[in-house]
Amino acid sequence: MLNNFRLVLLGVLFSLSSCGYQLIRSDVASDVSFSVPTASNKSDFRGLESLLTQSMRQQLHGLIGAQLKSEHCDYSLDLTIDRATRSARAWSRGGGVNMGMVVLTISYQLFDSSEQKVLNNKASRTQEFLISTGEDTNHAFSEAIADVAQQIVIEIADHLTNNN
């Protein structure tokens, strides 16, 4: 019975290792410093750059234990909000909006201490919101920014794990 359990456990472990997911260590960047200057914002929605910068700094420190500095860093992360739009998705019979949607596209570049570009990517999110539940455009943008920030940090962690 114990041998059967061990075989089942081994089978589960092997199948998990091949599923495409990779766990990141929460201390993968504990000895790595980052500079994250305020993001650029090419959209008409002012204030998103502050939300993105703050979320990115929190995710870098919280997810991978990175140190945040303003100068003499191992890496510098440049962020740009390329696109931020909102639209109505569903109209009510009375002519009001029931559901809305925001679309957010962020480009980012990661530079090492010698100012060599080591990552250059874009991340996009579409976030829907229901007005009847009290959600609005600001809430949807905040959710989309948090999701994108987390994705970017995971991609940075992957880079650090595979290149150090």
**What is the per-residue pLDDT across 126-139, written as a single tens digit (0 to 9) for each?**
998 888 788 889 99
pLDDT band, residue 120 (cuts 50/70/90): very high
Structure confidence at residue 24 (pLDDT): 55
Structure confidence at residue 17 (pLDDT): 47
What does the domain layout of the chain look like in residue ranges? 24-81+107-122+138-163
pLDDT band, residue 152 (cuts 50/70/90): very high
Tens digit of pLDDT for each residue in 23-33? 555 566 678 99
| Average pLDDT, integer, range 150-156 | 95
Structure confidence at residue 18 (pLDDT): 45
24-81+107-122+138-163 classified as CATH 1.10.4030: no
Looking at residue 99, what DSSP letter applies? Answer: E
Provide the whole-model pTM: 0.79
Contact status, residue 60 vs residue 36, Cβ threshold 8 Å: yes
Distance separating alpha carbons of residues 34 and 20, to the nearest angstrom: 28
Tens digit of pLDDT for each residue in 1-14? 555 545 444 454 44
Q: Report the percent of the chain where pLDDT is more than 90.
A: 58
Structure confidence at residue 7 (pLDDT): 45
Tens digit of pLDDT for each residue in 27-79? 666 789 999 999 999 999 999 999 999 999 999 999 888 999 988 999 999 99
Distance separating alpha carbons of residues 146 and 11, to the nearest angstrom: 35
* Amino acid, res. 83: R
Q: Where are the alpha helices (DSSP H) in 18-136?
A: 48-64
Name, in order, each residue with C-beta under 8 angstroms of 82's C-beta and a sequence gap of 6 or more: 42, 43, 105, 106, 107, 122
